[in-house]
Amino acid sequence: MSESCVRIAMWSGPRNISTAMMRAFGARGDCAVTDEPFYAAYLVATGLIHPMREEVIASQPTDWRKVAEHLVGPPPDGKPIWYQKHMTHHMMPECGRDWCDSLVNAFLIRAPEAVLMSYSQKRDDFTLDEIGLPAQAELFDRAAQHLGRAPPVVESQDVLADPRGILSALCAACGISFDPAMLSWPPGRRATDGVWAPIWYQAVERSTRFADPRPEAAFADLPEALKKLAALARPIYDRLAAHRLKASEPPP
């Protein structure tokens, strides 16, 4: 593995601002990005029926070992920073975790009530595991044990409210400098976007910056079935949110 490359594994659940975060890092001239590299392996292992399932499976390796080997291998185009967008629920129990220890592990969270409301608009039937919080907590604990301290956590609403401040804090926590280029990007699709982009990325493809903060769905507004999942998810979210980064100003 090239020690000169800072590999950032950003662990998120679905229906967060994970793709916008990938756009921000991809706007840097010194950074390569990779989009959900374990998705195909996850679909094959679980048998779940997701939109564009066959296209996703055909687009990526389905052996998690090959994926992990790639992620700690030479960075794309020799870039000194490699931002890897990961969905936590793609890391099934049978997937090894040792490869994660050589990366900078960071965590992107969003209020579970809002995640559940958004995700339910794309899929009718799903479990708590599919929104990623249980796996996110497990990965967080592993990273904290490896580091001897809490790894970086960013809350999506904080990013939207103060992109410069939160991204500056995140970059500092990851050992890289902040780049103002992260605050805007051209609209459209990227060659690095997953093949599933037509289903999930419509809003991001229209975007040129982070959106303004939006009110999160209230717990009382959730359908009864989602309230039960939210009640299970909320304590996990709160535990991670206790470590969220505060905004900082980049140097002049």
Q: What is residue 128's predicted lDDT score, i.e. its pLDDT?
A: 83
* Distance (Å, whole) CA 76 – CA 33: 8
Q: What is residue 122's predicted lDDT score, i.e. its pLDDT?
A: 66
Q: Most distant CA pair in the chain: distance in Å? A: 51
% of the chain surpassing 90 pLDDT: 76
Lowest mean pLDDT among 2-16, 46-60, 72-86: 2-16
Q: What is residue 14's predicted lDDT score, i.e. its pLDDT?
A: 86
Average pLDDT over residues 41-55: 94
Per-residue tokens: 157: 């609403």
Q: What residue numbers bound the domain in which 143 lies?
A: 6-241
Question: Mean pLDDT across the chain, nearest whole number?
Answer: 92
Q: What is residue 232's predicted lDDT score, i.e. its pLDDT?
A: 92
Number of domains into which the chain is organized? 1
Domain contains 252: no
Lowest mean pLDDT among 49-53, 72-76, 151-155, 183-187: 49-53
Q: What is residue 15's predicted lDDT score, i.e. its pLDDT?
A: 84
* Distance (Å, whole) CA 101 – CA 122: 33
- What is the rounded radius of gyration, in angstroms, for the C-alpha atoms of the chain? 17
Q: 37 falls in which pLDDT band (50, 70, 90)?
A: very high
Q: What is residue 197's predicted lDDT score, i.e. its pLDDT?
A: 96
Domain contains 217: yes
Domain contains 250: no
Give the H or E element holding residue 41.
helix 39-46
Rounded (10°) angle between helices 112-119 and 224-241: 140
Q: What is residue 116's predicted lDDT score, i.e. its pLDDT?
A: 86
Per-residue tokens: 190: 């990227």
Domain contains 135: yes
Residue 69 in this model has a pLDDT that exceeds 80: yes
* Distance (Å, whole) CA 218 – CA 93: 32
Domain contains 251: no
* Distance (Å, whole) CA 236 – CA 43: 25
Average pLDDT over residues 174-179: 97
* Distance (Å, whole) CA 250 – CA 252: 6
* Distance (Å, whole) CA 17 – CA 158: 11
Q: What is residue 221's predicted lDDT score, i.e. its pLDDT?
A: 76
Domain contains 91: yes
In this predicted model, which residue has the larger pLDDT, 4 or 195? 195
- Find where tokens 């505060």 sit: 246
Q: What is residue 217's predicted lDDT score, i.e. its pLDDT?
A: 55
Give the H or E element holding residue 105.
strand 104-109
Domain contains 145: yes
Residue 76 in this model has a pLDDT that exceeds 90: yes
Please write the tens of the pLDDT for every residue from 86-136: 999 999 899 999 999 999 999 999 999 888 887 776 666 678 888 889 999
Average pLDDT over residues 185-189: 97
Domain contains 58: yes
* Distance (Å, whole) CA 70 – CA 48: 25
Contact status, residue 85 vs residue 200, Cβ threshold 8 Å = no
Per-residue tokens: 237: 């979210």
Q: What is residue 148's predicted lDDT score, i.e. its pLDDT?
A: 97
Q: What is residue 252's predicted lDDT score, i.e. its pLDDT?
A: 47
Contact status, residue 36 vs residue 200, Cβ threshold 8 Å = no
Q: What is residue 131's predicted lDDT score, i.e. its pLDDT?
A: 84
Average pLDDT over residues 234-243: 96
Contact status, residue 5 vs residue 77, Cβ threshold 8 Å = no
Residue 176 in this model has a pLDDT that exceeds 80: yes
- Find where tokens 């490359």 sit: 5
CATH classification at residue 72 = 3.40.50.300
